[in-house]
Amino acid sequence: MRHLKAGRKFGRTSAHRKALFRNLVGALIQRERIRTTLSKAKELRGKVEKTITLGKKGTLHARRQAFKLAPQKESVSKVFGGLAERYANRPGGYTRIIKIGPRRGDNAPMAFIELVDREGETSSAPKKGKEAEKKEAPKKSTAKKETKVTSTKKKQVKPKVTEKRAAEKKETKATSTEKKETKKKTEPKKSTAKKKEDKK
């Protein structure tokens, strides 16, 4: 039986495994999104969330403990600075795992692990209560108005395009008629010259 034997070993020695996860924790904190195998992502999630919780404490003891999990100075300073402020009101759940299918070489299941509420994302914190519904209602109406305005703008733009196309067609017709006229002028001269040559 495998009771009380938590954690994946990944076929590595304990020192190799610790070094692996220190590097992964540092990379995830600095880049905020990394691609790795699903099992590593699941194992990494707890270590990263523990580090961010230490960052929210902000004490010297917490900082020294965080250096055990992520030895990079840049990543620890980010945890105790920007990330602690970002997740001040969030009680855990700082990471998200997204499955992306198998790896081509060995068919290992791959996944993205990323920090929630990253800089590139919009805040996805759910709002509760009647106040949230009231705040959301005016936004919907303004969005509808904006779509109406854009649709009218598109209608105004279309006639200009058709006018340009009509003008281009007229120009092409005019040039084609000019070419035909020039050909007619040149053709009789050639024919008279050929007739003279035939008479000779």
Domain-by-domain residue ranges, the chain?
14-125, 154-200
Q: Tens digit of pLDDT for each residue in 46-93?
A: 999 999 999 999 999 999 999 999 999 999 999 999 999 999 999 999
Residues 38 and 108: their CA atoms lie apart, in Å, by 8
pLDDT score, position 114: 96
Residue range 101-117: average pLDDT?
Answer: 95
Better pLDDT: 37 or 160:
37
* Residue 197 confidence (pLDDT) above 70: no
Backbone angles phi, psi at 111, to 5 degrees: -155, 155
Predicted TM-score of the model (pTM)? 0.58
The pLDDT of residue 22 is above 70: yes
Residue 36 pLDDT exceeds 70: yes
Pick the CATH number of 14-125 from 3.40.50.620, 1.20.120.420, 3.30.750.80, 3.90.1030.10: 3.90.1030.10
Report residue 29 as tokens. 């904190």
| Mean pLDDT of the chain, nearest integer | 79
Exposed, middle or buried, 7 (CB in 10 Å: 0-12/13-18/19+)?
exposed
112 - beta bridge partners? Answer: 35, 98
User: Hey, what's the torsion of the CAs at 32, 36, 42, 48, to 10 degrees?
Assistant: -30
Alpha helices by DSSP H, listed for the chain, are: 14-31, 38-57, 60-69, 73-78, 84-86, 130-199
